[in-house]
Chain A
Amino acid sequence: MKKLINNPEHVVEEMLEGMVAAFPGYVRKLEGFNVIVRADAPVKGKVGLVSGGGSGHEPSHAGFVGRGMLDAGVAGAVFTSPTPDQIFEAVKAVDGGAGVLLIIKNYTGDVMNFEMAGEMAEMEGIKVAKVVVNDDVAVENSTYTTGRRGIAGTVFVHKIAGAKAQAGGTLDEVKAVAEKVIANVRSMGMALTPCVVPAAGKPTFTLGEDEMEIGMGIHGEPGTMRTKIMKADEIVEHLMSKILTDIPFKPGDEVAVMINGLGATPIMEQFIMYNKVSKILKEHDIKVHRTYIGEFMTSLEMAGASITLLKLDEELKKLLDAPADTPAFRQF
């Protein structure tokens, strides 16, 4: 295993310290906790947005802390949910009196830890609401399982709920718009290579030199299909057919698109993917309002990418277009 690190046990803390050192005007770290908050937190009268999860998905989540997006990002160990005491500190630090919304990705551990933190905060008299993001169409949606996972679509929830909170929305309004994004966002990813959790020192799974896995989760969870590698256009066609038929997206719809590299996918390949996405959307008479290409929700050094589509209405368009200024997401 080759990694540009000092000590596997210190990766999260050193990363967060580095982020604060690089963006002191934007963020600060809560002393003694792996929590990044807006430099000016708590913002009085504004609903606070707290998200987080295991580390290894950078720039999620701390990279999206800033004006117009999150108020706090809580960083667990690599691929491990943060604990309730950490999340609780984040909630306390960003509560400006208008309540706090927890944005949770749908993983068993994340949901339980955030729920416990929410209960702790409520006992202290802080108003808390939560939403659970489950945009990954690769996992079957059944009430009898854990259900769909939350992946890159979560960033659209950060952006849009963040804009609503920044505009003075109440906790109920911010939660409602977050739920609307969740109802209208769908993603699916694929992997060409696994990744190595620093503390484990070996790959989370193995893929043959000529193999890929479709529907792979951002922690290397099993996907829907392992096959010989295909051409980019064929891969995109497969992912898009699953995504488009899911809501479903209809001719005349307007969408935002995100191509999300998982950590080791060249920008060149992301544009090659988008080239095909754009053609498919044109064929389906679906209009693209905005496109985001890059790394938003990575999986350490995994090679691969996910595609996310968000179906927009006038309210979502306005909030998506609103400015945001964070270490990893800037839009003016």
Chain B
Amino acid sequence: MATDAAGLVKILEKVAEKISENREFLTELDSAIGDADHGINMSKGFSAVVEKLHSQKIDDCGAILKTVGMTLVSTVGGASGPLYGTAFMKAGQAVAGKSSLDFQDFVTILEQALEGIKYRGKAQRGEKTIVDSLEPAVDILKDEKDSGDKGLVMEKALNAAKEGVEYTRSIIAKKGRASYLGERSIGHQDPGATSCYLMLQAAIEKIKEMSVNGL
């Protein structure tokens, strides 16, 4: 599998669509342990991303991801803006200058995104954050990146992310506004871990669809 810049934009459009479909759901999750704006802010940010990507044609995949990051940072606000913004900017740096991306690049992008989120949020696994869904997925992608069946590897990574989301229900929030709730945060699924899973799901669905179509 490989994709050019136009393909990358299509993947990002799919991610934006998924976030927009889950606007209410993410906001609802956030209202239980946060300030009830995660879905609203994320979908606002990704609408701006799509608008921005349509307003200019970029051939450099790194530059596209950097544009996504900058746009999220200036439109999402709160903590999610800097976190996802840093993730995309860091991913963009790692593939700067590339006009097409292969599976190894996909792994690098997610690896760097995770690095960016951990750096910005000073978070580790087990603190009820984005890291809890993203890191398990990245671990699988890294471990099995040379496997012959890329489709299966992506499927396994996505499942690991989903299990990560489930895991956030069982733990106490140690970062962000939810941490003020202490034990009262147990039983609630983390909105950030969830939005990250949804983004991953959208990207993988689109990559698979494009591979089938011979892209």
Contacts and interface: CB of A to CB of B under 8 A. Distances in A.
Interface stretch (A72-80, A241-249, A312-320): A72-80
**Interface residue SS majority, chain B:** helix
Given A83-B73, A83-B75, A84-B73, A116 B82 contact: yes
A116 B117 CA distance: 13
A65 B75 CA distance: 25
B83 interface: yes
A169 to B, nearest CB: 30
Interface stretch (A44-52, A216-224, A265-273): A216-224
Interface string B71-84: 00111111101110
Interface residues of A, number: 28
A80 B73 contact: no
A6 interface: no
Q: Which of A81, A85, A146 has the most chain B CB atoms closer than 10 A to its own CB? A: A146
Interface residues of B, number: 26
A145 interface: yes
Contacts of A83: 73-77, 81
A139 B77 contact: no
A109 interface: yes
Contact of A112 (B35, B79, B182): B79
A227 interface: no
A28 B74 CA distance: 22
Interface in B38-87: 73-79, 81-83, 85-86
Contact of A139 (B36, B174, B175, B180): B180
Contacts of B37: 80
B77 A76 contact: yes
Given A217-B180, A219-B35, A221-B180, A109 B79 contact: yes
23 contacts: A77-B77, A80-B37, A80-B78, A81-B78, A83-B74, A83-B77, A84-B82, A85-B73, A85-B74, A109-B77, A109-B81, A112-B82, A112-B121, A115-B82, A115-B120, A116-B82, A116-B85, A145-B180, A146-B175, A146-B179, A149-B180, A204-B35, A221-B180
Given A112-B83, A146-B179, 12 more contacts: A81-B78, A83-B73, A107-B177, A108-B176, A112-B82, A115-B82, A116-B120, A140-B182, A145-B174, A146-B175, A204-B35, A221-B177
Interface of B: 35-37, 73-79, 81-83, 85-86, 120-121, 174-177, 179-182, 184
